[in-house]
Structure 1
Amino acid sequence: MNVRTLPPRPDAFDRNLLLRALAPADRQLLAPLVEDVTLTTGQVLFDPGQDVTHVTFPLDGTVTTLLVPLLDGRTIETATVGREGALGGVVSQGYLPAFNRAVVQLGGPALRMSAKQLQEVKQTSPAIRNVITRYADCLLAQVLQSVACNAAHPIDQRSARWLLTLQDRLGDDTLPVTQEMLADMLGVRRTYLCGVLRGLQAKGLIQIKRRQVTITDRAALEDAACECHARVREHFTEVLGAIYRDDGKLVAVKPDAAPAPSSALAVKAL
């Protein structure tokens, strides 16, 4: 992995919502084990079949995507991970071969640590284990909902869902994405997607400019999207105690305020 590593800055834990939710004592357990990394747009964090050796926690403005590559060269997005979460050895115990590809969609800062060390810390800290277990459940829910969405919903609804998901993680109406990037995520040709985006723009939902898409009417875009975006948000709220602003930005997770985990959430495989 081509990254620049440094010791974590003092405010780094506050720039990832999972880490921010931890008590000071639990942060101190992780602090000696994590390092600052700078991720670049388009960087592949792992590919199918590679051992997942590290867990990455994106910080403000950094967004990664889990993709399933197909034999015909297309890739299909299954989950988007930003400052609300982590990827790499989160659902599994780490150091297992990856099934999918993890790509940096919007480069920026992140924290990284050994997947093995995270598993060891989880055994000593119930709070860290609880946060990671709950997030793993939410990540799996996002993957499963994406599978259903890709199979059942038309491209205009899927496009709206992806734009809303990205805005949730960035908290900004202007999304620094290209039409080519969005087409790759959705597994369609760029020329086809251009027509879809122009249709959303004609309805006053978005504005398209070079290398960016601006959401001009979020409420209407939510109405134009399928139910998948809302269902994933609801699950994040129920399981992880996610808190959203009126403009959609995910601003905090409070796992202690969420209901006690069921036996399904406590499965060791998570």
Structure 2
Amino acid sequence: MSAETSLDAAFAGNRLLATLSEEERALLGTDIEVVRLGVGDTVLETGSVTKQSLFPFDGLMVSLRRELSGGRSVEVAAIGREGAVGGIISCGAAPAFTQAVVQLPGSAALIPMPALEKAKLESGHIRNLFCRYSDALLAQVMQSVACNAFHPIEARAARWLLHAQDRAASDRLELTQESLAGLLGVQRTTVNAVARVLQEQGLIAYRRGAIQVIDRPGLLRVSCDCYQAIENHFHAVLGPDGRGTAS
């Protein structure tokens, strides 16, 4: 795949970039790079200064994790082709509050922060787009807090798998049970038990470090209403054109 073709794939595959016109795309400059990232690659370290924004596509999903004392960490948000990582909410250089680690492999477009900030100043749509996305991302974080506090682990696991399937655009998720346990902030034995129940119900299949979604409607029934709440808010705030559907 040529550089031009892969760049076209990035603008078509990322839901934020896909809303840009040719003129708005040109405002982002020519220093956009398309990269392929693997599971475990670190995109941002806590406290590091953001130098470029990353726009996932092609199945890439990045986990935003907050590290706690004692060496533990928990996922606070997950970002895939619907969004971007780094420098979207803040204006200009700012330290990262979370660690960003690749959870599902795929590709991303890297846009230098100076080019992104310049484009925000010159385009009302780009400026408004990222403001709206920051609202959608904050909503995901707030819904996750409520979900983690009150909903059972089976519902939380089902919700996470649904979001992951959306972003990967595939039924097969390259994810170990150990990784899922870390993301949900529980012991591996707990996730093993949950995965076994979901598998016995015919909702998923687990084999060789990957989880296969077999019955998505079934997962939706097991999941709490947090999944749909997040999806509904994203659609209301951004929608297909980045302008939202809320009146």
Q: Is the shorter-chain TM-score for this pair beyond 0.5, marking a shared fold? A: yes
TM-score w.r.t. structure 1 length?
0.85
Give structure 1 regions of 4+ aligned residues with deviation exceeding 6 angstroms: none
* Residue of structure 2 equivalent to 1:250: none
* Residue of structure 2 equivalent to 1:133: 131
* Residue of structure 2 equivalent to 1:90: 88
Return the match for 1:148 from 146, 153, 157.
Answer: 146
The one-letter amino acid of 1:181's match is S
- Offset of 1:136 from its aligned partner? 1.3
1:174-185 alignment runs, 5 A limit: 174-185=172-183
* Residue of structure 1 equivalent to 2:171: 173
Query: What is the aligned length?
Result: 244
1:1-270 alignment runs, 5 A limit: 9-241=7-239, 253-256=240-243, 258-259=245-246
Query: Which consecutive residues of structure 1, in runs of 5 or more, have no partner in the other structure?
Result: 1-5, 242-252, 261-270
Contact conserved, 1:88 with 1:94, CA < 8 A, in 2?
no
- Offset of 1:31 from its aligned partner? 4.2
Q: Distance in 2 between matches of 1:179 and 1:94?
A: 37
More helix by share: 2
The one-letter amino acid of 1:254's match is D
- Offset of 1:15 from its aligned partner? 2.0
The one-letter amino acid of 1:11's match is A
- Offset of 1:54 from its aligned partner? 1.4
- Offset of 1:40 from its aligned partner? 2.5
TM-score w.r.t. structure 2 length?
0.92
Contact conserved, 2:58 with 2:81, CA < 8 A, in 1?
yes
Identity %: 43
Q: Structure 1's 195 and 255: CA in aligned 2 closer, same or farther, altered over 3 A?
A: same
Q: Distance in 1 between matches of 2:200 and 2:66?
A: 32
Query: Which consecutive residues of structure 2, in runs of 5 or more, have no partner in the other structure?
Result: none
- Offset of 1:141 from its aligned partner? 0.8
